[in-house]
Copies of this chain bind each other. A is one copy, B any other.
Amino acid sequence: MILGAGFAGLWALRRLAQVPVDVLLIDRQNYHTFLPLLYQVAAAELEPEEIAYPVRSVLRTMPNAQFLMAEVRHIDLAARRVEVADRAVPYDFLVVALGSITHFYGVPGAAEHAFPLKTLDHGVDLRSHILTCFERAVHEPDTVRRRRALAFAIVGGGPTGVEFAGALAELIHGPLTKDYPSLDIREIRVVLVEALDSLLPGLPQRLRDYALSRLRSMGVQVLLQSPVTRVTADSLHLRDGAVVLTETVVWTAGVRGDPLAQAWGLPAGRGGRVTVRPSLQSPGYAEVYVVGDLANVEAESHPLPMIAPVAIQQGEAAAQNILRQVRGATPVPFRYRDRGTMVAIGRNAAVAEFRGRAFTGFSAWVLWLSVHLFNLIGFRNRLLVLINWAWDYFFFERAVRLIVPSEAAKARPDLLDATP
């Protein structure tokens, strides 16, 4: 049984589909979300459907696999049962691939007021909120309120923060200035806030410098060494006392494992993740594997990052190890093959690290486009994403500018009302 249809769960499923075992996949959604492009949904570049893929389309070619759409309520490790809603489903082997949740590090107000970016709903909510800010600003006579509605703060200078800041700057300076010709563009601010002294920590210095200067040339105000101390409905407070007046704080500063895993008895490791053996097995239960963001696996005494390539390789490795166990063999340790890192910044601009070599600019951007397009599941999604990207590239235009507030957004009526 596999819990979670993210990268780790889906790739485990794919590997298990090739052999004669029965597989049940459980997820609360009926689709897989291609999270590396979620920020483009928030930036009105892609439609949510284009980065989602129905689980049952994957299952069609797998006669040995079943799907159950349900929320996992409990794992009874001793009884080898997973509990959902009104039933308990037994398993022989279990792959726990439930992913991560946004980590607010206990910053006051962050959980209440900042926008996370972890699900399709988050992406659509953030897009709707940003566009609503513009709709309000255009009819707002008060300068302070108008500037506040037009200030957008992104917390976290990692890949997601950098990519979203760049995409948002391009959205604003391209399509939105055309949509709102009466607004003074100098009143619009995009602020990227990072606690450490550099963007993209972990990447080579040349790439970090490139990302910083590129974002600044796109009009993004980058504040380094600026830990966030507080978030309110209309402000962002930094440790040095500076206050950014804004109604939009996007939180990309961190993710952590879901605390539910610990509640079910899986051992807690670093960052809310679950401690596993090198084989990805849970220490106490040889039939339970934990993979993806939820698993705390170290390589060279550093925890592996919570990114798609790690999840994919771990999902496949867990499936292989289960097959070894089924055959009576011993599971082997997981070894991560680092295939490099890529971060898109904007039009013709990206940074990429690949086998110790660093790329910037157009070549890195083409590499980024190709790899993401290639990794999207489903030919149709690839085609539609390509059309949207081409549309944006050649016409400097975003097609997806609908304000479609979801349930979560409606819980914040203060921010939704289009008339101030």
Contact = CB atoms under 8 A, between A and B. Distances in A.
Given A384-B384, A387-B384, A401 B47 contact: no
Q: Which 9 A-B pairs have the closest CB atoms?
A: A85-B419, A69-B418, A56-B179, A54-B401, A407-B407, A69-B135, A70-B419, A47-B49, A30-B403
A224 to B, nearest CB: 35
Given A70-B419, A391-B380, A418-B70, A30 B402 contact: yes
A127 to B, nearest CB: 11
A318 interface: no
Interface of A: 28-31, 47-49, 52, 54, 56-57, 59-60, 68-70, 84-87, 120-121, 131-132, 135, 139, 178-180, 378, 380-381, 383-384, 387, 391, 399-404, 406-407, 410, 417-420
Contacts of A69: 132, 135, 403, 418-419
Given A30-B401, A69-B135, A384-B384, A419 B178 contact: no
Nearest to A86: B419
Contacts of A52: 402
A419 B419 CA distance: 41
A28 B28 CA distance: 32
Secondary structure at chain A's binding surface: helix, strand, loop or mixed?
mixed
Contacts of A48: 402, 404
A87 B419 contact: yes
Contacts of A384: 384, 387
Contacts of A131: 30
A419 B84 contact: yes
12 contacts: A29-B402, A30-B401, A30-B403, A47-B47, A52-B402, A54-B402, A60-B179, A68-B139, A69-B419, A86-B420, A121-B404, A407-B410
